[in-house]
Amino acid sequence: MNAVLLIPSFQNFTRMTIYLDYNSTTPVDPHVLETMLPYFSTRFGNASSKTHSFGWVAEQAVTDARQQVAKLIGAEDSEIIFTSGATEAINLAMKGVFEAYSGKGKHIITSATEHKAVLDTCAHLEKSGARITILPVQPDGLIDPSELTSAITDQTILVSIMYANNETGVIQNIRELSAITHAKGSIFMSDSTQACGKIRVNTDEDGIDLLALSAHKIYGPKGCGALFVRRKNPRVKLIAQIDGGGHEKGLRSGTLNVPGIVGFGKACELAHERMWEDNIHISKLRSTLEQGLIDLGNISVNGNTRNRLPNTSNLAFTGIKASTLMKHLPDIAFASGSACTSALAEPSHVLRAMQISEDVAYSSVRFSIGRHNTTDEINICIEKIREFISKEI
């Protein structure tokens, strides 16, 4: 089958249901897919095969992709470690730092609204002897930097604060938090999975020493991500969590996912080139959506609306359960609470940390807009919700 045929069929699929869940995952951009395809077939070589051209071609492709990923976050190529995604990058960073620095101290600080990949890794490390402090957030989702100042000690080896929240889009004051961390000589890590590709992220300007990102949140393939590991001022040491052939400077063994890495690189390049253009389009759609819905009454925005990703809208529908809304809007794909919570839905830990009542949390939904959404789709979404609400009342 001609693989290019996959592209129109993907468009037909997305036309049936309106997809407003881009923070959960994104479709692979057609340009990204096209760049990846040869690396499944003719250019299938192992990037570690040094003895023939199949290996050299794959190795060159990985080198180019590493440069594209590094450029998106203002890093050096040599500071990028490819992983299977942000979850693995976070595990490598936190467990790797703990093992490398536990002689210096065993204290790790994070925040209450982090992704489960961070919170569950902290819970794991706590069983291995780490002392974990979870900073609270204010009702708007922002961390009060003075909370970090009071929590940090000489024993603190790592502070891990997400750049932007996946549920609310709230963007933390990363520069201030990293400065407080560095003043104590600790390492500053940021799960930047939602920020990368959506807003400007620069590891030097932002003072980030370890940064996790993922391809499938930025129109790249699933199963591919990276960890940025600062090499100077300070040089961060890590203990590998996957041992084997010594790939990725010994920090992540295993044959490289060359097609995935090539797609990830292309996705980073596109995100970098299109960020401004994408954001004009996306923020216009978001304000249309929010204004349209807020005009219906009894709907309010959760989280700080100034320090927020341009694509995310977390809304509380007073008096209507998110699950009810979802059941009546089967042709709109959006999220309630966290995408990870299953049938036995618990209220979102992010909204609860913002002191939002359980009731309001159960009535909250997340719309996250992407590159491929149109004004028509947003208007249809508003109209369908309007119809549903007018029947309810």
Ligand X SMILES: *Cc1c(COP(=O)(O)O)cnc(C)c1O
Least spacing, CB of residue 99 vs ligand X, in Å: 21
217 or 308: CB nearest ligand X: 217
166 or 181: CB nearest ligand X: 166
Least spacing, CB of residue 264 vs ligand X, in Å: 10
- Report how far residue 135's alpha carbon sits from residue 114's, in angstroms, rounded to the nearest whole number: 10
Q: Please count the other Cβ atoms lying within 10 Å of the Cβ belonging to residue 295.
A: 10
- Report how far residue 190's alpha carbon sits from residue 175's, in angstroms, rounded to the nearest whole number: 11
Residues assigned a catalytic role: 340
Phi, psi of 336 (to 5 degrees): -115, 135
Residues contacting 91, CB < 8 A, separation 6+: 117, 121, 241
Question: By beta-carbon distance, which residue lies closest to ligand X?
Answer: 85
Least spacing, CB of residue 115 vs ligand X, in Å: 3
Exposure string of 121-139, with b = 16+ CB inside 10 Å and e = fewer, is: bbeebeeeebeebbbebee
174 or 382: CB nearest ligand X: 174
57 or 90: CB nearest ligand X: 90
Exposure string of 76-95, with b = 16+ CB inside 10 Å and e = fewer, is: eeebbbbbbbbbbbbbbbbb
- Report how far residue 290's alpha carbon sits from residue 313's, in angstroms, rounded to the nearest whole number: 7
Q: Please count the other Cβ atoms lying within 10 Å of the Cβ belonging to residue 16.
A: 8
222 or 328: CB nearest ligand X: 222
Dihedral of CA 306/364/196/239: which sign?
Answer: positive
100 or 339: CB nearest ligand X: 339
Least spacing, CB of residue 189 vs ligand X, in Å: 12
Least spacing, CB of residue 104 vs ligand X, in Å: 27
Using CA atoms of 162, 165, 170, 171 in order, give the dihedral in degrees to the nearest 10.
30
Least spacing, CB of residue 383 vs ligand X, in Å: 29
Of 349, 338, 329, which is closest to residue 389 (Cα–Cα)? 329
Binding site for ligand X (CB under 6 A): 85-87, 115, 117, 162, 166, 191, 193-194, 214, 217, 225
